[in-house]
Amino acid sequence: MEISPEVLRKSVESLLKLQEIDAKLFQYRQESSVVPEEMVKAQSDLLEISKVVKSLDRGFKDVDRERRALELRSLTLAEDLKRAEAKRRDLRNTKEEFSANKEVDNFQKRVAETKKLLEEKTEISKQKTEARDAKQKENDELQTKVKQLEEARAKGLSDITSKIEELLKQRDQFISQVDDQVFSLYERVQKIRKGSGVALVKDSICTGCFVSLPPQTRMQLEKLTALITCPSCSRILFPQNELSGGLTSNNAIVADSIKAASV
């Protein structure tokens, strides 16, 4: 693609500034797409714990249902015993007494057995409540932690979004200073090169990928009348020593940002 050296120089100088913005944009987009590991782990732990709480709660409810049934049986038996004892008081002969005593004994035995069962079941029920409550506490604490992590992430994402919006505004200003064809090529390359689409050439080396350029590319670069790209990384190339004076002092920073963003 033929281009005048002045248009090329001006475009490249704007692209170098644009590239600093694009490297930051890439970094921010990367940051916003990564979900913190700590949050992912806490969310998954919470899911597991809540399942355990539910299962412990079911276990407790089953036992407690049995305990309440025993409680009811215990009350009924106590009533039966009272009735049997009352009946014994109104006896007329020895034969009846024998039978009544047997009935009272029988109820007393069953009352005692049920009482023992109820005590055992009450203890189990108590243990199950404690186990469930302890897990529930763990669940609640983790839930608070997950909420905090999610809020922190939402805040972080909102900050990043503001920064991205600000950078996009700055970006528009530089785009208007770049030749359309140069920009469309830059845009294609920066999208695959993590926000870096232009590289300065220093000592015949592309500072984007640090590959030594072949003689043919070097010759093309010297003319400055065409848009030349790196045969290795596809970045738009421009000789560092052809930049206008003001930008030269910036080269180190630019080169570093390219280096940081390069593959």
What gap in Å lies between CA 142 and CA 127, rounded to an integer? 23
Q: Smaller CB distance to Zn ion: residue 104 or 230?
A: 230
Is the distance from CB of 200 to CB of 243 less than 8 angstroms?
yes
Distance of CA 62 to CAs 57, 162, 206, Å?
9, 54, 74
Nearer Cβ to Zn ion, position 175 or 205? 205
- Closest CB 33 distance from Zn ion, rounded Å: 26
Residues that bind Zn ion (CB under 5 A): 206, 208-209, 230, 232-233
Of 46 and 230, which CB lies nearer to Zn ion in the complex structure?
230
> Least distance from C-beta 177 to Zn ion, angstroms?
24
Q: Which is nearer to Zn ion, 21 or 230 (CB)?
A: 230
Q: Are 14 and 170 in contact (CB under 8 A)?
A: no
The nearest distance, CB 217 to Zn ion, in angstroms, is 10
- Spell out the residues 6+ positions from residue 181 whose beta carbon is closer than 8 angstroms to its own: 1, 3, 227
Phi, psi of 226 (to 5 degrees): -145, 160
CA dist 104 and 81 (Å) reads 6
Q: Per the structure block, which two tokens stand in for 56?
A: 């412990």
Least distance (Å) from Zn ion to the CB of residue 151?
Answer: 43
Distance from C-alpha of 35 to C-alpha of 75, rounded to nearest angstrom? 59
The least CB distance from residue 262 to Zn ion, in Å, is: 8
Identity of the residue, 162 or 212, whose beta carbon is nearer to Zn ion in the bound complex: 212
Looking at the Cβ atoms of 146 and 237, the one nearer to Zn ion is: 237
The gap from C-alpha 123 to its chain's centroid, in whole angstroms, comes to: 42
Smallest gap from residue 140 Cβ to Zn ion (A): 55
3-state secondary structure of 2: strand
